[in-house]
Chain A
Amino acid sequence: MLLFIIGVVSGFIGGMGIGGGTILIPSMIFLVRTPQQIAQGINLASFIPTSLAAVFVHSKRRHVRFKIAFLLILSGIPGICNCQQKIVYRTRNQSLMFLNMSNSPTERIPLTRLSTSKEAVRKYKLITGSSSVKCFCIP
């Protein structure tokens, strides 16, 4: 229910094009106690249906200038690809701190030869035999 309310409030702000993430990310971190990266991921994923709905309403009002939007999208994509490299780079060269269900740091594994964090989770499960790996964050 708390998650739903956070969604409504941030969706309202986000639907006006003001930036729902400014509400959503801190409230996820402080109220739901998720790590920063997970909060960012939730913000991104939940904004897909939210913005779909908002864009639909806005385009009906003819507020959206699609030609310019298209160009902005095209040029925005390289910006994102840059960020992907950054995430992978950071996970490759630093040790990841794993969190289990109780949110307490359990173990650090150097990720010298792991390419993605997904692979790291797999290895962690193999080592500890636990299936309770829920999330992890870059320390």
Chain B
Amino acid sequence: MKPTLRVENLAEVFQAHQAELVRLAAFILGDRGSGEDVVQDVFVRMHQRGHPMDGDMLPYLRAAVVNSCRSALRRRLLIRRHADNHSPCPPLTAEEAAMLSEDRRQVLSALAALPPRRREVLVLRYYLELSEAEIAGMLGISPGTVKSTAARGLAALARALKEKS
């Protein structure tokens, strides 16, 4: 359903997709500031490399953002970040979280508590609404692995939500 844009200008690409990419990164990382950094870095790298801008850039951009999120998560294991997110509902700020229903907040907190790989697959599947095959292609894993990871992720989410309610 999302429009695919064929544009040749990096600034236009940035304008068109930045918001979605920041949200994607924020959901995977569980915090908005890091999500913005990741997306910024992706665009800066593209700019420096003079990446050829032909065709639909969106799949490439999404994959680049997901990859950068992984690097960021790895770094995070080495450098214990100080708690930069006081929201009970990552990656939203407390004000934003207050605007969501309790039910939705619980779902988002449970998502943020999942292991990164499961969270990543669930975000790609249920935020970007990519197919299992598309996710497999993006992450370089088999469709079967996508399916089982998503299923385990959802089961873990369901359990976590049941405990809360």
A complexed with B: no
Interface on A for B, CB 8 Å cutoff?
Answer: none
